[in-house]
Chain A
Amino acid sequence: MRKFPGNNGVDKIKIEKDLLLDQQMLAAENRRILDRFNVKMIDIMGSVGTGKTSLIQQVVKQLKSNYRIVVINGDLDTTIDQERIGSCGVDAYQINTGKECHLDAVTVRGMLKQINLEQTDLILVENVGNLICPVDFPLGAHRRLMVISVTEGPYVARKHPAVFMEMEYVAINKTDLAAVMNVDVGELIRDIKGIRVNARVYPISCRQQGGLGDLATALLEDI
């Protein structure tokens, strides 16, 4: 391949490597590891402050008598979430990404090595607070849940259709504040279903502990 006369020494090289497809393959490897140990994993995504940690705390409360649960918390910095989840009586592992706006399959693989998978039924992953970026980076989870809340205003689904197009499960948190925020939860649900006809949308309130039983049941149904 070296410097043939007539092409000024320029070689045209085929590379054909898809970096996002690579991510999907790494995620599929994670899935195989989880399936080997019969562990289910749920990737919980959402903007900063939508209540992902609160939701996990509530879901843990609902499920911990029947499932051995481990939580992975992703954040740029601090172990605040790990401590919050730890106080619920389950093991929590913190990933600090420094500057990265999402978790990826490789980081999660590192965590899977640390977790005793034989003694685990369910892993809840709290992704880095970000509505958009984690969508491009599957982790190998059996379910992906997007958490939004009424405090982001009434247009969050309509403004981010390409995000909701990929989300089968959506939780709308802080519904107890809907009236104060002047947000119509029914309209948010219609927006989400308008983008993705088979989306499963669960209005919840972590503060008032509303709707969480239905959500937890739905997340584990036929998993």
Chain B
Amino acid sequence: MHEFGITSRIVNTVLQAAAEHKSTQVLEVELLIGRLTFLNPAQVQYSYELLARGTILEGSTLIIEEIEGAVRCMKCQRINSLKLPPQGCYDPFPSFCCPECGGSVEIIQGKECLVKGAKMI
């Protein structure tokens, strides 16, 4: 739901990088989104197209790569991935505890919204 707000920060981040490089046109932007965020890549894509209009990002391609979630057990330190099933949602949701020892876990991957880089002229 907050894709528009976060995408405007993405656009501003790229515009700032483009200004630093005295670029006149951005061609491509690479973005990484973690699957444990509440960001819907399709809505980010749509917001990007709207927000890019009238800027040097207009017409550029936004490439979104998604990254799986992973958790680490705070007791036995074991790392487990939360792989998204093919149907696109976790059903049933993996219990948020260590499958090995039942300990509490912390998220170590999947909360990213990383602007990796951009191609520009």
Smallest CB–CB gap between B59 and chain A, Å?
14
**B102 contacts across to A, CB distance below 8 A:** 197
| Max chain A Cβ within 10 angstroms of own Cβ: one of B9, B13, B14, B113 | B113
CA distance A21 to B6 in the complex (A): 12
Q: How large is the interface on A (under 10, 10 to 19, 20 to 34, 35 or more residues)?
A: 35 or more
Q: Is chain A's binding surface mostly helix, strand, loop or mixed?
A: mixed
CB contact between B113 and one of A10, A18, A165 (< 8 Å): that residue? A18
CA distance A15 to B21 in the complex (A): 11
Given A194-B95, A197-B97, A197-B104, are A13 and B115 also a contact pair (CB < 8 Å)? no
Interface stretch of the complex, out of A127-135, A140-148, A174-182, A211-219: A127-135
Nearest 7 interchain pairs by C-beta: A161-B93, A197-B97, A20-B113, A196-B96, A18-B114, A165-B96, A14-B117
Q: List B residues at the A interface (Cβ < 8 Å).
A: 1-2, 5-6, 9-10, 13-14, 17-18, 21-23, 27, 34, 36-39, 90, 93, 95-97, 102, 104, 107, 111-121
Q: List A residues at the B interface (Cβ < 8 Å).
A: 1-3, 9-21, 100-102, 130, 132-133, 135-137, 158, 161-162, 165-166, 194-198
Taking A15-B115, A197-B104 as known contacts, 15 extra A-B pairs with beta carbons closer than 8 A to each other, sorted by chain A number, are A2-B22, A10-B27, A10-B121, A11-B120, A13-B23, A15-B13, A15-B117, A20-B37, A132-B38, A136-B111, A137-B2, A161-B93, A162-B90, A195-B96, A197-B97
